[in-house]
Amino acid sequence: MVVSSQSMKRQLKKLLVANRGEIALRIIRSARLFGLRTVAVFSEVDAMSAHVAAADEAILIGPAEPANSYLDISKIIAAARQSGADAIHPGYGFLSERAEFARAAAEAGIVFVGPRPEVMAALGDKVAARRIAAEAGVPVVPGIETGEVSAAREFAERADYPILVKAAAGGGGRGMRVVGESAQLESALEAASHEAAAAFGDGRIFIEKYLARPRHIEVQILGDEDGGVVALGERECSIQRRHQKIVEESPAPGLSASMRTKMIDAALSLARAANYTNAGTVEFLVEGDNFYFLEVNARLQVEHPVTEMRFGIDLVCEQLRIASGGHVPKSLAPRGASIECRINAEDPEHDFRPATGSVLHLSVPSGPCVRFDSHLAVGAEVTPWYDGLIGKLICFGADREEARRRMVNALDEFALLGVTNNAAYLRDVVASEQFRDAKLSTHFVEEFFAGWHPADADITAALIAAAMTADGAFGEDRQAAGAPRPGAVNRSPWESLKNFELWGSRR
Amino acid sequence: MVVSSQSMKRQLKKLLVANRGEIALRIIRSARLFGLRTVAVFSEVDAMSAHVAAADEAILIGPAEPANSYLDISKIIAAARQSGADAIHPGYGFLSERAEFARAAAEAGIVFVGPRPEVMAALGDKVAARRIAAEAGVPVVPGIETGEVSAAREFAERADYPILVKAAAGGGGRGMRVVGESAQLESALEAASHEAAAAFGDGRIFIEKYLARPRHIEVQILGDEDGGVVALGERECSIQRRHQKIVEESPAPGLSASMRTKMIDAALSLARAANYTNAGTVEFLVEGDNFYFLEVNARLQVEHPVTEMRFGIDLVCEQLRIASGGHVPKSLAPRGASIECRINAEDPEHDFRPATGSVLHLSVPSGPCVRFDSHLAVGAEVTPWYDGLIGKLICFGADREEARRRMVNALDEFALLGVTNNAAYLRDVVASEQFRDAKLSTHFVEEFFAGWHPADADITAALIAAAMTADGAFGEDRQAAGAPRPGAVNRSPWESLKNFELWGSRR
Amino acid sequence: MKLKRAGDPREFDVELISRDGAVVRVRVGREEIAAEFAPSATGGGTLTINGRRYPIFGVRRKDSILVAAGPASFEFKLAETSLRRRARGLVAPEIIAPMPGKVLRVLVKDGDLVESGQPLVVIEAMKMETTLAAESAAVVKRVRVEAGQMVDHGAVLIELSPAPASSAAVSALRVS
Amino acid sequence: MKLKRAGDPREFDVELISRDGAVVRVRVGREEIAAEFAPSATGGGTLTINGRRYPIFGVRRKDSILVAAGPASFEFKLAETSLRRRARGLVAPEIIAPMPGKVLRVLVKDGDLVESGQPLVVIEAMKMETTLAAESAAVVKRVRVEAGQMVDHGAVLIELSPAPASSAAVSALRVS
């Protein structure tokens, strides 16, 4: 089918993208392809970032602080009104799973690219979602729907420690605590509730039996207004740090055809039970031959490209078609295998501590079956204000091993200077025996890559490079040296280290 | 199947890539994926270019002049010996279709990634190739196999002008002349022969009836040592300037299923008749419901990515597998549509005159279904010594219109400063009604884009940008201003044009 | 300032009037245009001219300005500099190499009277032959190159003087 | 020169001995290494160390060097500068913000005696809470921040002095 806003039940004209970074850029591209004008919103610190330049219009909505910009529903609705946008795409994170945002858009007569508000509300509440899943006959993890201390203790004794304390409004591992023994229980409940309240303005928590060594496998679904529902295969997302995915792939290695069918059927019946529309993801925990409903992400996922690569489909265009009243595609045949690595501004040598800075040098892999979704470019700033995801590297292959080797090579071609990042860490993960042999569980990182450090050979190469750099082989960071414009002269302590003449080939 | 050099009849270890630019880089990437060590060769002016950095080893083989470097068989064989390479990939252009190169490799005990020398010799000679095709029952254009003046005149009278004078050893439109009337005949024969002799060291020419408004459609084939042959669909390559393709796509728009089948069958029988091995392309001219054999390109084509995008295959890996004694893939199912635009260092406003320079600014499109194969980066030099192809932009879509629109958007994201190029021209071509409606023939460029100039709106925007630039908004070209290293100070005539203070946000 | 671009007969008169925050006021010819400019982190920026946005980037050189507006790139020279060569009624009394390359054939010699469109010299670059011809009648004053020689972009290949009873313009023009 | 990298106890002693064409001779610790360097057009280059190639790039800053070796990137500081803070037997008598962010909670006050591993302050950046704790016993000399305050990378959050009968090192350490 031709991607186009033409000949749709509702012909959209202008889309406001209520997000930033790589996903805003990626949505703008597909919206343009779909024939829509695009409106970017941005905070003061993002004025010069890529999504602002990419859109047809851009509106400043506030200061860096998310609460007063990207999380401010009224400002975003106002921006949509001001620009005459007839649709809003929330991306992921920020307001993407806030039912009240979808509701506010609807009240303003603006199409929200996502499920209906009431569906978002129901699925966004993990406790309610558990109920819907159970009623739809989807297996759920044993647990109780309260964080009340005595009930929690009673459940924990019965189900046996460790147990998992989760925020009803949670997401991204926030407000989540594993409790190994009763001594920790009360403080864990308190801490989780506190973090949940701070993060989501909703301190409700609930409790589930903690699965020892599960895999995280999710199913991509699409639903349309006329009840059409389709599943686009699964994604394996077991490799996580701090409860956040860093490597995802499709298909899930070694998943039996029967398991896959069962999980896809479960996802579809859940989608039907919830009257789900637009794109969503049903997440499961898998242990042995059992799978349990984890949650529904009622939005586009960060890792959606691994599905796009296998199915040859543009999920954002599908979202826009559905939002225009169009139908889900007839179920498509996937092909090959794909893997995504999330390049984060963080320090893998120090518990993935967030990093910031401005990009001084960037080398991006390319070529056949390699895709890099990013808003980065030399000169771009990574600020402390927002999520540390700065790029997604996706590789396709005829099979998993081909995709894996392509990813190793692609990461070897990647270089980013100025912002500490996890590229070398991801490279070692994907190149490892354990990943090659798909020894996958949500504990993969702790089991195999705890205390990771770069190889000594790499450090030696870096030291030689450092000596050459000190000697002026590659020039100064003019900004850092305090020379905003070309033409200024630097003073540098390194000059004093030079022990011989400049050489010609130096640039 | 897993891409791997393992478990092959011949297990290759190290591949020398006898080429430069984007194709050398692209081959190195797939060779690494296939598990081979890679050796780059380079001329003095290419010492700092991307393919040299990408390979595991790099060997200087001579001065810029191709005759003494990339076209010097003995130097390349010596480099292979020196590095212990057990295979050579010729890429396209340069020595890729020289049977004596393949023979020299064989004599040195090195696997040549391509057809057998005798097959290359037969197909490389367009006259011989015509015979093979005719004998295989493939329709050929009416013509005579000599450039002898009286015979030529006799044929021309009989077949009626215009006729086409072609070099038996030709390629890329060189040594080719269209003759519209008998007065031009003799000089055309002389000129073509001269150009052919100069270009290929072989002045033999032959003559064909000139088809008025043909389309150029070609079929991708793969053949293995055990007689396995497969065709991977067709490519439409009608959009050409100076007899060189600039836009290619697959599938060929509006090509009937029966025509496609006939052409693919013709290509396969030709491949079998020629005992063809490895990757090759059978080119046809199509007029109405008739198709005529044009030539066989016994090598990887520039435009091979449009096939890769539709079939989800890596043709260079397939070449390496076949060269290792492996088999062609079982025939694969294509999906969607893909388009390639060739970004050349040339001036579309002046008969596509070649351009040179160094890259001062580069902005490359990315995102879903967009691929950019290029050796360019800021700082890279485009010299007058080699072909002007500096990048290939390939877009995929669920159908042609989706791919076309993606290409327009991708080209809108492209920017290259420092080397005059045809990106804006290609953008207008792909965005045009005539391309959208697939009014395709090899005269597309002359018919619809003769005397092309950038839109006045673009020029106005450029003039405003120029005024800002003169004012120092974007800084100097430090190299051009004669300051090889950061820290140097510029003198510039533009300073005198400034009529107000620098402003803060300027970078 | 007055700007020229190669092969475009027009002379562009453009002046930056003011820049107040994002608003850039520019005079192009007689028209005054108010555009909006949003700098991007990468050093360029986005120029908005009545609702349409152009990603732009520019580089200053000694005697030219390079700018990109989307995929279109331009080289502007100060009209003054492009006028420098004016001499004795000839716009361009020299045949200039339009690109670096190798001189394949020189088709005239000193003193030859050449006619409009007559091929003068053939150079090769990037596998393509380019023939430079006279745009109108002239006399070959001096041939400065010989076959086989490498020449750089802008190199003077042939000097021309006005043809008797002719002061028509002469300049490099490609014929295929 | 002597270089340190954050969180790596080692001090690296490296000296560029000579560069003769492509050959770069460097002393790393006691070992002398001969590497080959091929500059690339993009400003960086390829470093070959006994047969293995690393794409490298480097940037000098006032008091640090940033280098990339393939996908691995490093920030080295001159050991001297990292020693500056040595004072009264404490390696780092200050709790430093490891990243720019917002102070969520301050868990101690001036004069408190803190034990090894005791949380001192919680800051938030990029949606994540990071708790900074004492690595060993110390006395809180001065709390320099309060909850809600934004702090920049490297900002001093808390000053510490040695615990009575203890000169053990104190430094920022993250506990989850």
Residues B355-401 pLDDT 10s: 999 999 999 999 999 999 999 999 999 999 999 999 999 999 999 99
- Find how far residue B16's CA is from the centre of its chain: 20
For D93-132, write each residue's pLDDT tens digit: 788 887 778 898 999 999 898 887 788 998 887 767 777 8
**pLDDT for position B61:** 98
Give the chain A residue whose CA is nearest to the CA of B377.
A363
Question: Could you tell me the pLDDT band of residue B6, with boundaries at 50, 70 and 90?
Answer: low
Taking CB atoms and an 8 Å cutoff, what residues of chain B touch A485?
472, 475, 502, 506-507
Please compute the mean of the pLDDT values over residues B46-50 and round it to a whole number: 95
pLDDT tens digits, A119-167: 999 998 989 999 999 999 999 999 999 889 999 999 999 999 999 999 9
Higher pLDDT, C64 or B91: B91
Partner A contacted by B406 (CB < 8 A): yes
- Contact yes or no for B361 and C59 at CB 8 A: yes
CA distance C160 to C113: 10
Nearest residue on chain B to D39, judged by CA atoms? B48
Model pLDDT, residue C136: 72
The predicted-structure confidence for B204-261, as pLDDT tens digits, reads as follows 999 999 998 999 999 999 999 999 999 999 999 999 998 899 999 999 999 999 999 9
Per-residue pLDDT, D138: 85
Q: Is D119 near chain A, with CB under 8 Å?
A: no
Lowest mean pLDDT among B51-60, B314-323, C140-149: C140-149
* pLDDT for the residue A483: 34
Indicate yes or no: CB of B460 within 8 angstroms of CB of C6: no
Q: What is the pLDDT of residue C26?
A: 95
Residue D118 has a pLDDT of: 83
Share of chain D above pLDDT 70, in %: 84
Residue of A nearest to D104 (CA): A198
Both tokens of A218, joined, read 């999710």
What pLDDT is stored for residue B169 in this prediction?
Answer: 82
Mutate to test the interface with B, among C46, C66, C77 (most CBs of B within 10 A): C66
Give the pLDDT of residue B283: 97
The answer to whether residue D18 scores a pLDDT higher than 80 is: yes
3-state helix, strand, coil split of chain A in percent (to 5) is 35, 25, 40
Phi/psi at B162 (nearest 5 deg)? -75, 155
Alpha-carbon span A20 to B55, nearest angstrom: 37
CB atoms within 10 A of CB A351: 16
Q: What is the pLDDT, as a whole number, of residue B2? A: 52
Instruction: Determine what percent of chain C is predicted with pLDDT higher than 90.
Output: 41
Taking CB atoms and an 8 Å limit, are A56 and C53 in contact across chains? yes
* 3-class SS of residue A226: coil
Q: In the prediction, which pLDDT does D119 show? A: 85
> Is the model's pLDDT at B117 over the cut of 50?
yes
Say whether residue A379 is in contact with chain C using an 8 A CB cutoff. Answer: yes
Give residue B7's pLDDT.
65
Task: Identify residue A399 by its one-letter amino acid code.
Answer: D
Cβ contact C58–B468 (<8 Å): yes
- How many percent of chain A have pLDDT more than 70? 92
User: How far apart are the C-alpha atoms of C76 and D100, rounded to whole Å?
Assistant: 45
What confidence score (pLDDT) does residue A284 get?
A: 98
Instruction: Give the number of other CB atoms < 10 A from CB of residue B327.
Output: 17
Q: Do D38 and B47 touch (CB under 8 A)?
A: yes
pLDDT of residue A175: 81
B463 and C CB contact within 8 Å: yes
Per-residue model confidence (pLDDT) at position C127:
67
pLDDT band per the 50, 70, 90 thresholds, residue C167: very low
Angle, vertex CA B17, rays to CA B15 and CA B23, nearest 5: 130
Residues of chain A contacting D49 with CB distance shorter than 8 Å? 457, 460-461, 464
Confidence of residue C170 (pLDDT cuts 50, 70, 90): very low
Who among C39, C42, C53 is closest to A377 (CB)?
A: C42
The yes-or-no verdict on residue B498 having pLDDT over 50 is no
Q: How high is the mean pLDDT of chain B?
A: 91
Q: Percent of chain B scored above 90 by pLDDT?
A: 83
Residue B413 has pLDDT above 80, yes or no: yes
pLDDT digits 0-9 by tens, D21-49: 899 999 999 999 999 999 998 889 999 99
- Chain B, residues 242-271, CB within 8 A of chain A, namely none
Asked if the C-beta of B477 comes within 8 angstroms of chain C's C-beta atoms, the answer is: yes
CB contact under 8 A, C70 and B467: no
Return the minimum-mean-pLDDT range out of A97-101, A182-186, A308-312. Answer: A182-186
pLDDT tens-place string over residues B78-92? 999 999 999 999 999
pLDDT tier for residue B8 given thresholds of 50, 70 and 90 = confident
The pLDDT > 90 percentage for chain A reads 83
Which uninterrupted H or E stretch holds D157?
A: strand D156-162
Enumerate the residues of chain B whose CB falls inside 8 A of the CB of residue D53. 56
Find the mean pLDDT for residues B55-61. 96
Q: What is the mean pLDDT of chain C?
A: 81
End-to-end CA distance of chain C: 35
Check CB contact of B417 with chain C, cutoff 8 Å: yes
Does pLDDT of C87 surpass 70?
no
Cα separation, B486 vs A484, whole angstroms: 12
Instruction: Report the distance separating Cα A124 and Cα A460, nearest Å.
Output: 49
Report pLDDT digits (tens) over A328-372: 998 789 999 999 999 999 999 999 999 999 999 999 999 999 999
Q: Is residue C88 over pLDDT 70?
A: no
Question: Which residue in A299, A404, A406, A427 is the catalytic one?
Answer: A299
- What's the confidence (pLDDT) of residue A172? 65
Do the beta carbons of residue B160 and residue B207 sit within 8 Å? Answer: no
pLDDT number for residue C83: 39
Cα–Cα dist D67/A417, whole Å: 7
Smallest Cα distance from D56 to chain B, Å: 10
Query: Which band of pLDDT confidence, cut at 50, 70 and 90, is reported for residue A481?
Result: very low
Region A270-282: what's the mean pLDDT?
97
ipTM of the shown complex: 0.83
Q: Quick one: average pLDDT of A75-96?
A: 98
* Residue A503 banded pLDDT, cuts 50, 70, 90: very low
Q: Is the pTM of this model over 0.90?
A: no
Residue B3 pLDDT grade (very low, low, confident, very high; cuts 50, 70, 90)? low
Spell A103-115 as b/e; 16+ CB within 10 A means b.
Answer: bbbeeeebbbbbb
A478 classed as catalytic: no
User: Which has more pLDDT, C77 or A480?
Assistant: C77
Containing B424, the helix (H) or strand (E) segment is helix B423-431
The number of beta carbons lying within 10 Å of the beta carbon of residue B373 is: 23
- How far apart (Å, rounded) are the C-alpha atoms in residues B332 and B231? 9
C-alpha C14/C-alpha B468 separation (Å) is: 10
Can you give the pLDDT at residue D165?
A: 55
Residue B480: per-residue pLDDT: 42
Q: Is C46 in the A-facing interface, judged by CB distances under 8 Å?
A: yes
- Residue A163 and residue A186 in contact, taking contact as beta carbons nearer than 8 Å: no
At residue D131, the pLDDT reads 79
Q: Region B83-112: what's the mean pLDDT? A: 97
Tell me what pLDDT residue C126 has: 72
One-letter identity of residue B378: V
Closest CB from D14, D43, D45 relative to A463: D14
pLDDT at A2: 52
pLDDT level of residue B479 (50, 70, 90 thresholds): very low
Closest CA of chain D from B381, distance in Å:
7
Residues of B in contact with C75 (CB under 8 A): 420
D and C touch with 3+ CB pairs <8 Å, answer no
- Strand ranges in B425-495 using DSSP code E only, listed in sequence order: none
Name the residue with higher pLDDT: D167 or A199.
A199
Q: Which tops the pLDDT comparison, D85 or A437? A: A437
- Region C28-48: mean pLDDT is 93
Chains C/B: 3 or more C-beta pairs closer than 8 A? yes
Catalytic residues of B: 299
Lowest mean pLDDT among B33-42, B53-62, B182-191: B182-191
**D53 in B contact zone (CB under 8 Å):** yes
Q: Quick one: DSSP state of residue B210?
A: P
Q: Where does A178-332 have alpha helices with state H?
A: 182-200, 257-273, 304-311, 315-323
Cβ-based contacts of B84 with chain D (< 8 Å): none
Q: Which residues pair with C160 in a beta bridge?
A: C140
Q: What is the pLDDT of residue A411?
A: 98
- For B132-141, B454-463, D166-175, which range has the lowest pLDDT when averaged over its residues? D166-175
Residue of B nearest to C74 (CA): B462
Q: How confident is the model at residue A243 (pLDDT cuts 50, 70, 90)?
A: confident
Cβ contact B124:B97 at 8 Å: yes
